[in-house]
Amino acid sequence: MFQKLLIANRGEIAVRIERACAELGIRSVAIYTEPDRFALHVKRADEAYQVGDDPLEGYLDPRRLVDLARETGCDAIHPGYGFLSENADFAHICEQAGIAFVGPSAEVIARMGDKTAARSAMRDAGVPVTPGSEGNLADCAAALEEAGRIGYPVMLKATSGGGGRGIRRCDSPDQLEQAWERVVSEATKAFGSADVFLEKCVVDPHHIEVQILADKHGSVIHLFERDCSIQRRNQKLIEIAPSPQLTPEQRAYVGELGVRAAKAVGYENAGTVEFLVKGNEIYFMEMNTRVQVEHTITEAITGVDIVREQLRIASGHKLSFRQEDIHYHGFAIQFRINAEDPKNDFLPSFGRITRYYAPGGPGVRTDTAIYTGYQIPPYFDSLCLKLVVWGLSWEETLDRGIRALNDMRLQGVKTTAPYYEEILRHADFRRGHFDTGFVPAHPELLQYSVKRNPEEAALVIAAAIAAHAGL
């Protein structure tokens, strides 16, 4: 097992990795830039080092991070998610330096990061993919010709895209022409590549992803699926495991497809294979070559510590489980509690947290890096915490989710929590009848009213007075 590990990330995922390291007896090394000087992941690590004053630059410099790992005696680096987690150059530099990269090889990251190459690999492996262009599109004229062949609506996507960026739905030739320059520009700025491709738009599908684990000894297993259909503008809000909408036959089939996809590309470590499901049609969408934000709910239903397995696999150990050892129990839901105002088009609500109280009780878990008095910096994403609830039945899980959301106290910033309560109360959601079109189809859920008790109202007023006085 590793002796010392550098965590090339921040926030709640860095704290999550530090906890796994502590259980395995691995010393953890945190990094931070000036805005994160007082962050929780810095406080909890065995060692912490500043990597620059610029808010982002230090988290995005692979050579600097590898040099720091060598200087501090680390034998491994965990990239978490986001930042450099799917950067093939980072993995390659780690390999050259003799430092274990907790993830797949640089070659696999590069191959799966190229959406057209990934689609080609899946076709060769017999994994169904959505109809679309065979490769990257040369220009808008080629896109129009391809769209005419497969039929509208279509999705114009950045080949190196991810996280909901570099993607546009086009319902007509006019929309495709208008979207072309925007997608190319966004892809170039966000991913450093102007390459784009086209695929058939599957209207309002279920977004299903399969969690896989693969070791260096040829073993690949899946940990069942997650339903990520509750999303806004391709950004996930609520995730569920397992999907309450799949039949047992579909569950077995999509799990087998996930394993087949991983084996086809020689995958190692933890990864996620994402699919679009519409009726009996199942299409490969992409593969995420890292730990997912929503790995928590898979842990809740299977009892498998995914981050712990990541560290064991990267150090050369065999998987702790065989496929026949993996079973799921009950349902789990993860809520991404973001510092955003749903009533104001989900505008970010950065600022100081004046009060934070985490919900608890049976079947409740919180993954976070915030605390009372913490200043949410405006340079990163708006995630405050991940609230996870588990229950034996779907109904119990829904009721527990409402209770936990209501128990939580997070003041000083606006959050998405009250909006999620409305979703959990909706009759269609409670019946398990939802897809990727659920959020835009129900704008009335944004008409909720925020209830405050007298104590909370007093705290809000006191915080406003303190802020005005510069305290």
At residue 147, φ and ψ (nearest 5 deg) are -65, -35
Can you give 236-269 as a three-state secondary structure string?
EEEEEECCCCCCHHHHHHHHHHHHHHHHHCCCCE
At residue 245, φ and ψ (nearest 5 deg) are -110, -15
Annotation says 290 is catalytic: yes
Q: Which residue type sits at 323?
A: Q
446 burial type by CB count under 10 A (0-12 exposed, 13-18 middle, 19+ buried): middle
The answer to whether 39 touches 369, Cβ cutoff 8 Å, is yes
State the DSSP string of 119-182. Answer: HHHHHHTT--B-SB-SS--SSHHHHHHHHHHH-SSEEEEEEEEETTEEEEEESSHHHHHHHHHH
396 burial type by CB count under 10 A (0-12 exposed, 13-18 middle, 19+ buried): middle
Closest by CA position to 159, among listed 195, 131, 199: 195
Take residue 302 and report the two structure tokens written for it. 């299977």
Closest by CA position to 464, among listed 414, 423, 412: 412
Take residue 93 and report the two structure tokens written for it. 């530099």
The alpha carbon dihedral of 238, 244, 245, 249 has a sign of: positive
Chain CA centroid to CA 129, Å: 22
How distant, in Å, are the alpha carbons of 188, 298, 348, 467 from that of 460?
43, 36, 18, 11
| Active-site annotation holder among 111, 168, 290, 400 | 290
Taking each helix axis as running N to C, give the angle between helix 140-150 and helix 173-191, from 0 to 180 degrees, rounded to the nearest 10.
120
Contacts of 306 (CB under 8 A, 6+ apart): 211, 213, 223, 270, 291, 295, 298, 299
Q: At CA 274, angle to CA 269 and CA 276, rounded to 5?
A: 165
> Which residues are identified as catalytic?
290
